[in-house]
């Protein structure tokens, strides 16, 4: 027999194995100061491309005022207790109603955290007779929700409709003559690649197969579609999404999220989703803050226009200097380079210390071995000057990488 903690020390995990060298710099870094396109990292001002503050609402003056006034009036405790027992309010109900209207659904239910909400919703919606079919590159919250499922689950190749059909055919065999149903899960915008899920194509498959469609549109709400209602609106098939998930952690610049769909389905979630039934209600200050952010999304469409001006300029600029962004279709702008983990850390160190650019570094196991992904997140607060400077910096970094200037057997140790 072995002590559990001894096993954990030996196991560490694919990212934990680097904790001594990376903690506080490459992983768990601290960005300080006012939220914006320029922040402070280790005492130095950096151009920041790592915040999902797409519409620039996190620090908008009207938002800050609403947040402060709500916190002063209600504190951070009210309402106390779980929503079902003692934690409901007119503001909670108002926010759900306005969110449903915004994404063109009948009803919506709030969840305290996006990740927890997705995991819990999947667990709530299906039973052991049902079959889940999901995109193989789905976010971890979807994967973890699927792991809880006591029935069958099949992954289809990323955005591959032929593969999806094969898995739907397998699923139909399993549920035939049973009480089982089929749930298809995908993302509106995939957060690493920036590519859209093929929502319209999946909706078309409903003509041949019987299933319900669950879309995690965390990166799509606020950024995609004519009104910001998300990827379904962008592709002209919002009605075909049966269960719509949106988070407050990105375009809203807040925390929490919601699920929306037809009235019966939402009512079922409201009365059966364990993560909400057995958890304290969302604080009033957050609910009121979300209402203000939603108001500004509708009132200030120019924020989305500013975002997309920056997105297009950044994508074109990087392409013009030979940088591979993988065909992104959204504000998420990945930069793909070939190299090792030590090279990735040396590139990131150079960008932060010598160019004053802070962006997220992604390596194996999130991406395949030999691939370095530097993810840029444009926002409405970035300027074209920021874009031009960043493009020039990445062109130089790419030349250095090809010349072997970042080669090293070990990653840099940061003091």
CATH of residue 172:
3.40.640.10
Q: Say if residues 401 and 50 touch (Cβ distance below 8 Å).
A: no
Q: Residue 342: its pLDDT value, please?
A: 84
What is the Cα–Cα distance from 351 to 365, expressed in whole angstroms?
22
Distant-in-sequence, close-in-space partners of 277: CB < 8 Å, separation ≥ 6? 82, 83, 84, 271
Among the candidates 250, 282, 314, a domain finishes at 282
Starting at the earlier edge strand, list the strands of the sheet with 257-261.
107-111, 257-261, 243-247, 212-216, 182-187, 131-135, 152-156
**In a domain? residue 290:** no
Among the candidates 282, 312, 332, a domain finishes at 282
Q: Which CATH number fits the domain that encloses residue 37?
A: 3.90.1150.10
Residue 172: CA count within 13 A, CB half-sphere:
11
**In a domain? residue 211:** yes
Q: Which candidate, 353, 360, 295, places its Cα nearest to that of 51?
A: 360
Is 234 found in the same domain as 328? no
**In a domain? residue 241:** yes
Is 161 found in the same domain as 205? yes
Among the candidates 249, 282, 315, a domain finishes at 282
Is 275 found in the same domain as 149? yes
Q: Residue 370: its pLDDT value, please?
A: 85
**In a domain? residue 415:** no
Q: Residue 361: its pLDDT value, please?
A: 87
Is 268 found in the same domain as 351? no
Is 313 found in the same domain as 388? yes
**In a domain? residue 137:** yes
Is 353 found in the same domain as 223? no
**In a domain? residue 73:** no
Distant-in-sequence, close-in-space partners of 341: CB < 8 Å, separation ≥ 6? 18, 363, 364, 411
Q: Residue 31: its pLDDT value, please?
A: 95
Q: Residue 6: its pLDDT value, please?
A: 86
| CA 341 to chain CA centroid, nearest Å | 24
**In a domain? residue 66:** no
Is 218 found in the same domain as 131? yes
Is 93 found in the same domain as 232? yes
What is the Cα–Cα distance from 84 to 70, expressed in whole angstroms?
22
Q: Residue 14: its pLDDT value, please?
A: 66
Which pLDDT tens digit goes with each residue over 324-342? 999 999 999 999 998 888 8
What is the Cα–Cα distance from 172 to 31, expressed in whole angstroms?
49
**In a domain? residue 63:** no
What's the domain count of the chain?
A: 2
For the chain, which ranges sit under pLDDT 70? 14-15, 17-18, 409-415
Is 130 found in the same domain as 215? yes
Is 205 found in the same domain as 116? yes
Q: Say if residues 220 and 244 touch (Cβ distance below 8 Å).
A: no
Is 144 found in the same domain as 22? no
Is 323 found in the same domain as 271? no
Q: Residue 409: its pLDDT value, please?
A: 60
Which structural domain, as residue segments, surrounds residue 12?
4-58+301-402
Q: Residue 15: its pLDDT value, please?
A: 67
């Amino acid at each position: 027999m072995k002590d559990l903690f001894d096993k954990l020390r030996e196991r560490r995990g694919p990212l934990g194995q680097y904790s001594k060298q990376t903690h506080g710099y490459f992983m768990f870094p601290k960005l300080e100061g006012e939220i914006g396109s320029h922040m402070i990292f280790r005492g130095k001002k950096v151009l920041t491309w790592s915040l999902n503050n797409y519409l620039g609402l996190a620090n908008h003056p009207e938002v800050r005022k609403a947040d402060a006034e709500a916190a002063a009036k209600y504190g951070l405790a009210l309402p106390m207790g779980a929503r079902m027992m003692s934690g409901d309010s007119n503001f909670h109900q108002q926010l759900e109603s306005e969110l449903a209207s915004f994404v063109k659904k009948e009803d919506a239910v709030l969840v305290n955290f996006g990740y927890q909400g997705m995991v819990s919703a999947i667990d709530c919606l299906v039973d052991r007779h049902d079959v889940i079919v999901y995109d193989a590159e789905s976010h971890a919250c979807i994967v973890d929700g699927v792991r809880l499922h006591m029935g069958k689950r099949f992954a289809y190749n990323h955005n591959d409709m032929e593969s999806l059909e094969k898995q739907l055919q397998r699923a139909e065999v399993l549920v035939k003559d049973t009480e089982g149903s089929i749930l298809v899960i995908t993302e509106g915008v995939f957060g690493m690649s920036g590519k859209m899920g093929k929502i319209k194509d999946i909706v078309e498959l409903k003509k041949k197969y019987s299933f319900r469609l669950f879309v995690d549109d965390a990166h799509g709400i606020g950024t995609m579609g004519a009104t910001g209602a998300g990827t379904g609106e962008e592709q002209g098939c919002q009605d075909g999404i049966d269960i719509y998930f949106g988070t407050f952690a990105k375009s809203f610049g807040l925390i929490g999220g919601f699920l929306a769909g037809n009235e019966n389905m939402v009512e079922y979630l409201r009365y059966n989703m364990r993560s909400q039934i057995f958890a304290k209600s969302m604080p009033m200050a957050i609910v009121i803050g979300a209402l203000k952010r939603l108001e500004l999304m509708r009132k200030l469409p120019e924020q989305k226009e500013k975002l997309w001006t920056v997105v297009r300029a950044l994508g074109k600029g990087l392409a013009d200097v030979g940088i591979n962004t993988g065909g992104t279709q959204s504000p998420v702008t990945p930069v793909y380079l070939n190299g090792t983990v030590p090279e990735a850390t040396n590139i990131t160190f150079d960008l932060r210390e010598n160019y004053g650019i802070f962006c997220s570094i992604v390596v194996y196991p999130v991406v395949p071995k030999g691939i370095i992904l530097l993810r840029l997140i444009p926002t409405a607060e970035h300027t074209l000057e920021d874009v031009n400077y960043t493009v020039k910096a990445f062109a130089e970094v790419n030349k250095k990488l090809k010349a072997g200037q970042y080669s090293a057997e070990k990653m840099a140790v940061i003091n």
